[in-house]
Structure 1
Amino acid sequence: MVSDSKGCDNRNHTRIRVLTYLMFFMFAMTSDAVGVIIPELISQFGLSMSQASAFHYMPMIFIAMSGLFLGFLADKIGRKLTILLGLLLFALACFMFALGESFYYFLFLLAFVGTAIGVFKTGALGLIGDISTSSKQHSSTMNTVEGYFGVGAMIGPAIVSYLLISGVSWKYLYFGAGCFCLVLCWLAYRADYPQIKRSSTDAINLASTFKMMKNLYALGFSLAIGLYVATEVAIYVWMPTLLQSYQGDYTTLAAYALTIFFTLRAGGRFLG
């Protein structure tokens, strides 16, 4: 009986890990395609680079705000409801791209997308902690999550490039992501979630989140992540635009520079 119970738990944990990998894959597929979409926006709406950059800043700002102000939901209402809520909001925002053509309408939807990502991402990260039996397993799972994120970052820009070459709107990337998200909703609903691991008896609310900001270790770790992301984002958002009119030596290398960057990033995360 004990062996059967452990086997069932292992199967459930495997399903949950796969679900988490796919969520981060989908997240990267949309967010990291922005660098390929921005030149198209500049041409379509006559934007400056500063104006077009809002297409990236908007979802990132709301991911941060969602994680900060809504992150406690994963502990308050449970991982399952938090993940389902985030995925459903994400799918709704993706399908709404088909209803408008205004740049500011797209920015509104991207804020919606960012909020949804922040919700299901915090739920998924908490879930990884619940199914990890050791710090080594937690690190291994997180690196694999980042590896799938890296793969999604390669596939998203490739899909957008194919759509644009075929004369199809980049908005279909979001439509496809919305359909994929509905599949993830079904998988998340069907999954059996483990009991939440809590190391503290403190109240679960927004105040507890701000209390954590007094921890110097948490602030230092967050700052290190912020500096890394700032560098990474500068590369994948602006490289396609900056190299678009490149005419010097090694033009083939320039054409595939972003793909090479994403490939090395994904490989490094899997190796981690």
Structure 2
Amino acid sequence: MQQRRIYLTLFLTYFVFAILLNSVGTVILQVINNYGVSKSAASVLEGYKDLPIALVSFLLASFLPRWGYRKAILSGLALVTAACLCMPLLPAFATAKLLFFCVGVAFALVKVSVYSTLGLVAADARQHASSMNLLEGCFMLGVLSAYWVFGYFIDDAHAQSNRWLQVYWLLAVLCALNFLTVLGTPFPQQEPLARGASLAQEFADMLKLFFKPLVCVFIITAFLYVLIEQSIGTWLPTFNNEILHLPAAMSVQVTSIFAACLAVGRLSAGVLMRKLNWYPVMNACVLGMAAMVLLALPLTQQVDASAAPGWSNAPLAAFLFPMIGLFMAPIYPGINSVMLSSLPRHQHSAMTGLLVIFSALGGTTGSLITGYVFGHFSGHYAFYLTLLPISVILLMLFLFRRAVQRSGGGLDGSVIIGASH
């Protein structure tokens, strides 16, 4: 019973943070409309979210076992509760920056703590794998919920309305309830003891790991993948609104197709990759991503702005392009599993730290580049540009497979699907 209560608490925490983390695209659209912020300026919100994740993960990951995972989760929830309350009370672009800065700091604390607590609670490897997939499933439910919850509060009739900020009262309540749930839940008493090495030595070990050829190729691949996923996920609501001329609320809600496809693709690949080797599956997914870009984007060129599209007569591209998520979904968790399976267990913590850091940097880079190209050229060019990192990923996967084989990490192709960044 106590174990189920701990799981429920961890899943609820991840659900809430999924909503907050994946609202950045919606907030970018709204600050452009409400505050007159340029696209290039609005794109920095991704950096305010991702860079704190990278920095805090790097600085505090090795400290959290000493501090306590429960305390870290409570601190993160308290921080985002206060930040959510600031949004409707102090409506401004600067407040949005503060919100995502707090969300980034809090998620770095929460992700390390939640993952580590799952390791303490799970009885064996099979239960751990199962709980990880359930955790990531809750994350995807949160992502899906974010688009519809925010879409409900957006007032299409009054583009300059601040009604959308009322959603943060609801989110503050959810965060506060989550805080009380964690506070009332007894976590495992025995937490892992810190190693005798100093923090400086742990940082040095992490940096040394990066210079291994296998790890370097993996990090580049993960960086490029997150760059693509975040650039699409963040800017798709604005693309739907300005290029496809969908109403603001619908522009946000239709983006949920992208999140749904990520969820379906991830779960489907989890079944598929129990039977097939990871490398051909990954190659097929990358080629599928390129095909979706080349198939869907030409359909957006001649959209009639005067048609006032709704769900019944929206352009085909509005539903087709988000389906790129079906092909994207297996890549990130797939390469993560292959990488971790190729390393000894004592290096998993350092590897996870590097992954979090470069995933965050990839997300920020993708959003900034896409925002710049979107603002100075066109949304079409911004999304066509994803073909460049897609091509590089295809090459990196080839090098990654060779590096895995040389390292002696011969894998049978079975990987765990489901990893958030």
Paired with 2:98 and 2:243, the residues of 1 have a C-alpha distance of 33
Paired with 2:239 and 2:87, the residues of 1 have a C-alpha distance of 27
- Helix, strand or coil: the match of 1:165? coil
> Cα offset for 1:202?
2.7
Where do 5+ consecutive residues of structure 2 fail to align? 271-421
Number of aligned residue pairs: give it. Answer: 257
Paired with 1:175 and 1:156, the residues of 2 have a C-alpha distance of 14
Of 209, 212, 217, the residue aligned with 2:206 is 212
Of 224, 228, 241, the residue aligned with 1:227 is 224
Of 141, 157, 172, the residue aligned with 2:166 is 172
What does residue 68 of structure 2 align with? Answer: 78
Paired with 1:171 and 1:246, the residues of 2 have a C-alpha distance of 25
Of 128, 132, 146, the residue aligned with 1:138 is 128
What does residue 236 of structure 1 align with? Answer: 233
- Helix, strand or coil: the match of 1:191? coil
Q: Which has the higher contact order (CA 8 A, sep 6+)?
A: 1
- Helix, strand or coil: the match of 2:191? coil
**Is the Cα–Cα contact under 8 Å of residues 87 and 165 in structure 2 kept in the other structure?**
yes
**Identical counterparts, % of pairs:** 26
Matched ranges for 1:40-59 at <5 A: 40-59=30-49
Moved more, 56-65 or 254-263: 254-263
- Is 1:30 the counterpart of 2:20? The answer is yes
> Cα offset for 1:240?
1.3
> Cα offset for 1:105?
3.0
Paired with 1:188 and 1:178, the residues of 2 have a C-alpha distance of 15
**Is the Cα–Cα contact under 8 Å of residues 143 and 269 in structure 1 kept in the other structure?**
no
- Helix, strand or coil: the match of 1:26? helix
- Residues 175-204 of structure 1, C-alpha deviations (whole Å, 9 max, x = no match): 222211111111112222222245x73346
What does residue 260 of structure 2 align with? Answer: 263
> Cα offset for 1:256?
6.3
> Cα offset for 1:73?
3.4
Structure ID, larger Rg: 2
What does residue 147 of structure 1 align with? Answer: 137
Where do 5+ consecutive residues of structure 1 fail to align? 1-10
1:32 partner letter? N
Of 155, 180, 191, the residue aligned with 1:196 is 191
1:146 partner letter? E
What TM-score do the two structures reach when normalised by structure 2?
Answer: 0.55
- Helix, strand or coil: the match of 1:114? helix
Paired with 2:39 and 2:244, the residues of 1 have a C-alpha distance of 21
**Is the Cα–Cα contact under 8 Å of residues 147 and 269 in structure 1 kept in the other structure?**
no
Paired with 1:84 and 1:141, the residues of 2 have a C-alpha distance of 21
- Is 1:126 the counterpart of 2:120? The answer is no
- Residues 96-137 of structure 1, C-alpha deviations (whole Å, 9 max, x = no match): 223312212321232122112211221111111111233332
> Cα offset for 1:18?
1.4
What does residue 183 of structure 1 align with? Answer: 177
CA 1:75 to 1:28, structure 2 compared with 1: closer, same or farther past 3 Å?
same
Paired with 1:188 and 1:255, the residues of 2 have a C-alpha distance of 31
- Residues 187-226 of structure 1, C-alpha deviations (whole Å, 9 max, x = no match): 112222222245x733464642442332246666555443
What does residue 3 of structure 1 align with? Answer: none
**Is the Cα–Cα contact under 8 Å of residues 147 and 267 in structure 1 kept in the other structure?**
no
